[in-house]
Amino acid sequence: MDVDHNILLIRYRYAMGSDHWFAAYDLAAAVATANTGHPLPAPLARIQQPTLYKYAADGTPTTDKATFQGFTSYGQYVYMLDGDARTDTTSGTLTGTDKWAIHTTSFDLNGTQNNPTTGYIASTHSEADAAANPREPEGMAIHTGSGSPRLSFGITNNSGSDHQFDLYYKV
């Protein structure tokens, strides 16, 4: 939910095994349909989720699909987080897809194609908390409490029943 721009973003799929989609709705109009039995209003934008891939040690995408870990939006932009859990790998020896285990992808809801070469998709890896063991991405949000909006995400920093995570943001 993006209260700064009055937008509710929903990620969904039509049937099990089908592709995921994002739909953006006017927040006030969507809330007005709650508990009324009426469907959501027509979406402001709807676009298929781009396929997320794991990355090789040199930063190039592989053909292995990444594990989706969360999303958020701000205005017309959608941000996705992907990555797998990593354990028993010291930060100084990161190689292969472990080096790029946490990855963010952004795209413009006004885009017309799900193609990274069109320029509306941007992808970056994160080495935040590289020494954490285990290390796994744990969702994301936009933090606006300190002035400028910041893309924030969580990373697991321990294992066991007392599951904890640290928060980081992109600058």
Q: What is the overall mean pLDDT for the chain? A: 80
Lowest mean pLDDT among 18-27, 76-85, 120-129: 120-129
Q: pLDDT higher for 95 or 158? A: 158
Strand order across the 102-108 sheet: 68-74, 77-82, 102-108, 121-126
- Residue 66 clears pLDDT 50, i.e. is over it: yes
Map residue 123 onto helix, strand or coil.
Answer: strand
Model pLDDT, residue 142: 92
CA 138, 3, 110, 171 torsion-angle sign: negative
- Give the position of tokens 């933090």: 143
Report how far apart, in Å, the C-alpha atoms of 17 and of each of 20, 73, 105 are: 9, 24, 22
Tokens, residue 148: 């400028």
pTM (two decimals): 0.82
- Give the position of tokens 């963010």: 104
Tokens, residue 2: 């993006």
Q: pLDDT tens, 30-65?
A: 999 999 999 999 999 888 888 888 877 667 778 888
Spatial separation of the C-alpha atoms in residues 166 and 138, rounded to whole Å? 9
Q: pLDDT higher for 71 or 66? A: 71
Q: pLDDT tens, 120-164?
A: 567 777 777 776 777 788 889 998 877 789 999 988 877 667 777
Model pLDDT, residue 146: 74
Model pLDDT, residue 140: 92
